[in-house]
Amino acid sequence: MDQIKIGKFIASCRKEQGMTQAVLAEKLGISDRAVSKWETGRSMPDSGIMLELCDLLKINVNELLSGERIMAESYDKLAEENLLEMKREIEEKNRQMLRAEYLIVIPAVLAGIVLVLVSIFAQFSAWIRAALIVFAVAMIDAVAFIAVGIEQKAGYYACQKCGHRYVPTYWQTNLALHAGRTRYMKCPKCGKHSWQRKVLTKED
């Protein structure tokens, strides 16, 4: 999506409605800095306030995401294009989150192993060795909790029994048996347990 184009369109529609950035921000319950970021193309409105924003600007969501007024005959085609673009952006965001998981976990685990090896082979007193081991274990545990949170939020798990794709709770994800990013969990739709693989999208 062309954020610059969308930002200029938001600014134009806001002015058509006779609102300043501050007034629009107040109506939406956000800061005028957020509106400024939209209008300069540095960020996009959150999905949670898109409908309210469109209502205030007298446009629809499809026009907002297109960055222009849409004629009736072009509406369906642009709606489909916008949906596909949003799907691609969500997939890419999920991919980046899962990459970040590796970037966090691998260095932390390696650092933890190094600390344990140092505590074993270096000539330290017993309490320093114990402190190094405790610190290494605590660091790996903390990073593991963060990594599970990233994995849980990025994408969906696909039930191998019925194909349903869903986002489990943090603790369902954390406590499940797992092999890599495949976890043994109960599907909320069919109620059956299976090894559920991580997927990036809600549909195939």
| Domain range summary for the chain, segments of one domain joined by + | 3-70, 92-199
Residue 33 tokens read as 């800095």
Assigned CATH topology for domain 3-70: 434 Repressor (Amino-terminal Domain) (1.10.260)
Secondary structure of residue 52 in the 3-state scheme:
helix
In 3D space, the residue among 15, 38, 19, 39 whose CA is nearest the CA of residue 27 turns out to be: 19
The mean pLDDT of 133-159, rounded to a whole number, is 91
In 3D space, the residue among 204, 109, 122 whose CA is nearest the CA of residue 164 turns out to be: 204
Q: How confident is the model at residue 91 (pLDDT cuts 50, 70, 90)?
A: confident
pLDDT number for residue 85: 78
Residue 175 tokens read as 């406590």
CA 25 vs CA 18, 21, 29, 41: distances in Å: 13, 6, 6, 16
pLDDT tens, 39-80? 999 998 887 888 899 999 999 888 888 888 877 666 677 777
Residue 83 tokens read as 């949906």
In 3D space, the residue among 138, 121, 9, 11 whose CA is nearest the CA of residue 66 turns out to be: 9
Asked whether the predicted pLDDT for residue 27 surpasses 80, the reply is yes
User: Is residue 173 a contact partner of residue 148, using CB atoms and an 8 Å limit?
Assistant: yes
The mean pLDDT of 24-32, rounded to a whole number, is 92
pLDDT number for residue 200: 84
Mean of the per-residue pLDDT values for the chain? 88
Residue for token digits 């005028």? 32
**Number of neighbouring beta carbons within 10 Å of residue 153:** 13
Q: How confident is the model at residue 202 (pLDDT cuts 50, 70, 90)?
A: confident
What one-letter code names the amino acid at 170?
A: Y
Asked whether the predicted pLDDT for residue 82 surpasses 80, the reply is no
Asked whether the predicted pLDDT for residue 182 surpasses 90, the reply is yes
Task: Name the pTM for this structure.
Answer: 0.56
